[in-house]
Amino acid sequence: QSVLTQPPSVSGAPGQRVTISCTGSSSNIGANYDVHWFQHLPGTAPKLLIYGNSNRPSGVPDRFSGSKSGTSASLAITGLQAEDEAGYFCQSYDDSLSGYVFGTGTQVTVL
Amino acid sequence: QVQLQQSGPGLVKPSQTLSLTCDISGDSVSRDGAGWNWIRQSPSRGLEWLGRTFYSSKWTNQYGEAVKSRVTISPDTSKNQISLQLNSVIPEDTAMYYCVRQSSWHRGWYFDLWGRGTLVTVSS
């Protein structure tokens, strides 16, 4: 079962800003492990959006940004576009499990 | 352009062994700074890290707690690929299985390239 908790869905109109939360605990995000974010369209390979809490790989638009505080992290999408309609999930590392853990996933809908 | 091409049967019988391979092109399985993982996703269990192999002076394998008694991940340098073996499968092992590259940086590792996935169903 997924260790990191995300809202099942968020939605917004084109051009708006949406945020997705990722809530963990003292054994993962709260233990100062980095949070990474991925975008996943059905039938395709998941794509890295943010690594190390707030860093964008080359080619990822600056509409995507990440932040982390305490035992939680957030992904923000500003200037929402139709192509952003997809699934998003977070990922970190967990001390008690001695392994990598993932979020429950969030579906973003562009109204 | 780095690509991860997965292959293997889509149907496995209960109690048998699930075997998948991941052919790596555009990168080297033994490159220092790269880790090679298997991750699976199912509606009931979500995303689950199964384990990884990587080379840094020597080969190291690490496995997820939930499967470590049943899983083996192996590199094959001659074919530039990794393989996954999951023994004694049960229907709950039905999932989409992904081959995933990790890259290291000064703060650790991050998954930076995913394969397209292989759907494996465990059923008689």
Partner B, chain A 24-43, Cβ-Cβ below 8 Å? 33-34, 36, 38, 43
Q: What is the mean pLDDT of chain B?
A: 97
Cβ of residue B96 closer than 8 Å to a chain A Cβ? no
CB atoms within 10 A of CB B71: 18
What pLDDT is stored for residue A92 in this prediction?
98
* A46 contacts on B by Cβ (under 8 Å): 98, 114
Separation between Cα atoms, residue B64 and residue B13, nearest integer Å? 23
pLDDT tens column, B82-107:
999 999 999 999 999 999 999 999 99
Hey, what are A25's tokens?
């605990």
pLDDT tens column, B20-74:
999 999 999 999 999 999 999 999 999 999 999 999 999 999 999 999 999 999 9
What pLDDT is stored for residue A79 in this prediction?
97
Cβ of residue B48 closer than 8 Å to a chain A Cβ? yes
The answer to whether the CB of B90 falls within 8 A of the CB of A15 is no
CB contact under 8 Å between A45 and B49, yes or no, is: no
A43 to A86, B72, B84, B117, B119: CA distances (angstroms): 11, 26, 21, 8, 11
pLDDT tens column, A39-80:
999 889 999 999 999 999 999 999 999 999 999 999 999 999
CB contact under 8 Å between A99 and B113, yes or no, is: no
Conformational region of residue B78, where left means phi above 0, alpha means psi within -120 to 50, and beta covers everything else: alpha
* A57 contacts on B by Cβ (under 8 Å): 112
Looking at the complex, report in whole angstroms how far the Cα of residue B64 sits from the nearest Cα belonging to chain A.
6
CB contact under 8 Å between A97 and B65, yes or no, is: yes
Cα B72 versus chain centre, distance: 9
What pLDDT is stored for residue B103 in this prediction?
97
Separation between Cα atoms, residue A33 and residue A31, nearest integer Å? 6
Cβ of residue B105 closer than 8 Å to a chain A Cβ? yes
pLDDT above 80 for A1: no
CB neighbour list of residue A23: distance below 8 Å, 6 or more residues apart: A4, A5, A6, A29, A71, A72
What pLDDT is stored for residue A2 in this prediction?
80
CB contact under 8 Å between A100 and B105, yes or no, is: no
